[in-house]
């Protein structure tokens, strides 16, 4: 059908008038950032090292404003904690020799504490934390904490992220942290989480090894199924696939825990996903 000129012209005008407001709105939005930079003196820079390895955002105190952490690998302190106060971020806690922090109420006073670097840090005031040793000899470790032994304080799990060392469970009894080796040797066990994998009400431990520089050909991706008393049954998810900074979470929306795996420098580029089919198999 051939359009008559009188019908074409109104259509053109309508389209033109719709375009104009959206273009204007986009331009206004991109102009509303306030850029702060340590290069301009707005924020205290991290530790001065030149290999900043990670950033995390989460709430550490009870002011309902997110805090953030920057880590750096070449200089101490390796962890820099930033808290938002009066329009800016103040750098206010640093922890040497650590990898992977966890946040939990260790001493059961209803205030979250920080676990990391073989220590836990008690939140004693708005800007202050008091250091407490769990295992000073296992400072260069990743940390996770949870009620793996029911009752009392939550337990702490430390595992080596870079190097070879055991997975160790720490339980607080009679005012002392008692250690128990769960796996004798882990090779770069960078990925760590405490979860209830099989949904039996008892927390379990997930840990996966790297294949750093193509080494560790039998790299394990494992779950230690807990019984709530500190005993564990090992479930091997995979062998030979290297994982680094990977996650265990529900990926397909069916409510059970799946695994998102990525390597560091082994066989990259690569992604692996393990979909939990336990329920379907039963």
Residues that bind Ca ion (CB under 5 A): 105, 107, 109, 111, 113, 149, 152, 196, 198, 200, 202, 204, 250, 252, 254, 256, 258
71-73-76-82 Cα dihedral, nearest 10 degrees:
-10
- 232: Cα separation from own chain's centroid: 23
What's the chain's Rg over C-alpha atoms? Answer: 25
The least CB distance from residue 152 to Ca ion, in Å, is 4
The least CB distance from residue 267 to Ca ion, in Å, is 25
d(CA 135, CA 188): 19
Nearest residue (CB) to Ca ion, 46 versus 146: 146
User: What are 84's strand-pairing partners?
Assistant: 89
The least CB distance from residue 40 to Ca ion, in Å, is 37
What is the SS3 assignment for 84? strand
What is the SS3 assignment for 218? coil
Nearest residue (CB) to Ca ion, 102 versus 204: 204
The least CB distance from residue 107 to Ca ion, in Å, is 5
Nearest residue (CB) to Ca ion, 148 versus 186: 148
**Which residues contact residue 197 at a Cβ distance below 8 angstroms, ignoring those fewer than 6 apart?**
204, 206, 223, 225, 235, 248, 257
The least CB distance from residue 148 to Ca ion, in Å, is 7
Are 170 and 179 spatial neighbours (Cβ–Cβ below 8 Å)?
yes
Nearest residue (CB) to Ca ion, 145 versus 210: 145
Nearest residue (CB) to Ca ion, 188 versus 276: 276
């Amino acid at each position: 059908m051939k359009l008559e000129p009188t019908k074409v012209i109104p259509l053109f005008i309508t389209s033109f008038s719709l375009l104009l407001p959206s273009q204007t709105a986009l331009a206004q939005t991109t102009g509303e950032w306030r850029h702060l930079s340590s290069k301009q003196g707005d924020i205290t820079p991290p530790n001065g090292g030149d290999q900043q390895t990670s950033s995390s955002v989460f709430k550490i105190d009870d002011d309902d404003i997110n805090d953030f952490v920057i880590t750096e690998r070449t200089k101490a302190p390796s962890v820099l904690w930033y808290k938002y106060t009066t329009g800016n971020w103040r750098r206010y806690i640093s922890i040497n020799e650590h990898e992977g922090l966890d946040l939990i109420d260790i001493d059961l006073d209803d205030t979250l504490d920080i676990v990391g670097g073989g220590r836990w840090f008690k939140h004693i005031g708005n800007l202050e934390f008091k250091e407490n040793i769990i295992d000073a000899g296992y400072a260069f470790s990743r940390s996770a904490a949870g009620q793996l032994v029911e009752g009392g304080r939550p337990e702490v799990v430390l595992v080596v992220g870079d190097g070879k060392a055991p997975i160790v469970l720490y339980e607080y009894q009679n005012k002392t942290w008692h250690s128990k080796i769960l796996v004798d040797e882990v090779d770069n066990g960078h990925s760590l989480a405490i979860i209830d994998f099989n949904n039996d009400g008892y927390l379990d431990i997930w840990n996966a090894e790297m294949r750093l520089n193509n080494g560790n050909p039998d790299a394990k991706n494992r779950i230690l199924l807990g019984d709530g008393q500190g005993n564990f049954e090992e479930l091997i998810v995979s062998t030979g696939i290297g994982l680094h900074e990977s996650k265990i979470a529900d990926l397909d929306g069916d409510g059970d825990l799946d695994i998102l795996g990525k390597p560091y420098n082994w066989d990259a580029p690569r992604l692996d996903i393990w979909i939990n089919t336990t329920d379907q198999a039963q």
